[in-house]
Every structure is written in C-alpha cells, then in structure tokens.
Amino acid sequence: MNRVKKNDMVKVISGKDAGKEGRVVRVYLGRERVMVEGVNRVTKHQRIGRTRAGAMEGGITHEEAPIHMSNVMPICPSCGKPTRVGSKILEGKRVRYCRKCESEF
C-alpha cells in the first residue's frame, strides 16, 4: 500500500522547498515520485512559435516538477500534523492510518 495517494496533503521535509505544504496532483509509482501543487517549480524556456490562430507563443514558463516520495510526509487530516503512515486490515480491507493519533485516512 502506498504512503502517499492523489489528493493527499503533504509537507516537504527535505530539499530546496523544505517546509512547504501542498496537495498531491499526481503519483508516479514506477519512478517513486509525486507531483505536488506549488512545490519544486522549475523554469522552462520554450522556443517561440506560431499557433494555429497565428499568434506568437513562447518564452519563459514556470511549472511544477515531480519530487521523490521520500522527501514528502503526509499530513493527517484529523490531527493536522505530518505523520508516518501505517496500514492495518479492518473488515477485510486494508486502510492507512496515522501513527500519531491512530485515525484512518
């Protein structure tokens, strides 16, 4: 079971954006990375080109890049603190729970 899922609130614990919080937009399981809203923004330089309407488009843009899963920590919805995630089986289903306050995600 994954520690982090889409739409979870997470806190960045290391790297250039340490301390920032955001919502998980996408999870890349094979690469063990997550895309977090407003975190790890990178600068992209796009070549100027024409659109179908004939407008010139390009320049410098800023967008989010994926960050490694080990650099983020999920925030518990009930206690509001960054926490480690445990898993247990309840009624035949595996659920994630907060290791601090024992509430389910």
CATH number of the CATH domain containing 40:
2.30.30.30
Q: What is the mean pLDDT of residues 10-26?
A: 97
For range 8-24, the mean pLDDT: 97
- Classify residue 44: in a domain, yes or no: yes
DSSP state of 102: -
Total count of domains within the chain: 1
Residue 14 lies in a domain: yes
Asked, for residue 71, whether it belongs to a domain, the answer is yes
Range of the domain at 43: 9-76
Asked whether residue 37 is assigned to any structural domain, the reply reads yes
At residue 1 the predicted structure's pLDDT band, cuts being 50, 70 and 90, is low
Helices and strands of the chain, counted as H and E runs: 0, 9
Task: Give one word for 64, left, alpha or beta, with left for phi > 0 and alpha for psi -120 to 50.
Answer: beta
59 in any annotated domain = yes
Q: How far apart are CA 25 and CA 8, in angstroms?
A: 9
Q: Is the pLDDT of residue 98 over 80?
A: yes
Q: What helix, strand, coil percent values describe the chain, rounded to 5? A: 5, 50, 45
